[in-house]
Amino acid sequence: MAEKVDAEPVSGRAVLGQTLKVLREKAGKSLGQLADESGYEKSYLSRLESGERLSKVAVMVDLDGYYGTGDLLVGLWKMARIDAFKDKYKEYMRLEATARVMRVYTPNVPGLLQTEDFAREVLSEPQTTPKDAEAVEEQVAARLGRQLLLRRNPAPHVRFIIDEFAFRRPSASAKTWEDQLLHFEAVSQWPNVVVQVLTFSAGVHHLMGRGSLTLLWQRDGSAVAYTEGDSSGLLMDDPDDFLRHRLSYDRLRDLALSPSDSLTFIRDVLEEHRS
């Protein structure tokens, strides 16, 4: 008897594409008709159905409305966006998506707080083919999709400690940087988000040069620590490892500006940029 071999798992993006095709065919629409009635290009819709592209979530909201499918497509999109990230991040992303409490330290502008244009600039690399540009747009869409977790109900409580370095390296576009600073200012005032700036005056600290640190707590009380450098990420659920990283985070929190002083700092950087 031949040995049974497991089939290749179907990606979330493929499931979303298949669902889009089934819904269109069930509605008796051709791609051309759907393009005319939805306002999206036929070639773009075709790529969504074939699983070649990942749209922005707004596209799925529009198509859910068009087909009268509630939030079916949005739900499938949330699973499909995970495919836009490397495998090593998938488990972290699953935990991030359900975390009730998050504590983040980063030397750079955190992905969860990046505007669309700033994210596009950060993620862009030398592009030699049209597919390179498409890959960047997929990464941008996936990053923006991650940000939805900050506004879900119930919203997680999130604290960001951001190194002053992140505020001293502006984007290439003055408009993009101003919008990013304005977004920092706005998010700092959300009831579920705390932003603290770790200024240069705080001096040398033990996480310098070690990348970012994120602590996640789930509803059941379980917790993990995630560290990420330039080319690697490590997820730790060992209680001793987590406690060590929690203490590291607490030390940085004590060194950083208070939330109110951090908001003042952000506004001062914004004024400096405008002057």
**Is it the case that residue 88 has pLDDT exceeding 90?**
no
5 has pLDDT over 50: no
pLDDT digits (tens, 9 = 90+) for 255-274: 999 999 999 999 999 999 99
CA geometry: angle 111, 113, 114, nearest 5 deg: 65
Average predicted confidence (pLDDT) for the chain: 90
| pLDDT tens digits, 134-149 | 888 888 998 999 999 9
Please name the fold of domain 87-124+133-274.
Endonuclease; Chain A (3.30.870)
The residue ranking higher by pLDDT, 36 or 209, is 36
**What are the φ and ψ backbone dihedral angles of 71, each rounded to 5 degrees?**
-120, 30
The predicted model scores a pTM of 0.75
Domain extent listing, the chain: 12-82, 87-124+133-274
Q: What percent of the chain has pLDDT over 90?
A: 71
Band (pLDDT 50/70/90 cuts) for residue 7 is very low
Contact 136, 120 (CB under 8 A): yes
**Taking the domain 12-82, which CATH number applies?**
1.10.260.40
Question: 217-249, pLDDT tens digit by residue?
Answer: 999 999 999 998 866 788 888 889 999 999 999
Instruction: Tell me what the mean pLDDT of segment 9-25 comes to.
Output: 88
Gap between the Cα atoms of 12 and 95, Å rounded: 17
Task: Provide mean pLDDT across the span 63-81.
Answer: 92
Give, in order, the Cα–Cα distances in Å from 197 to each of 167, 187, 258, 260. 9, 13, 8, 10
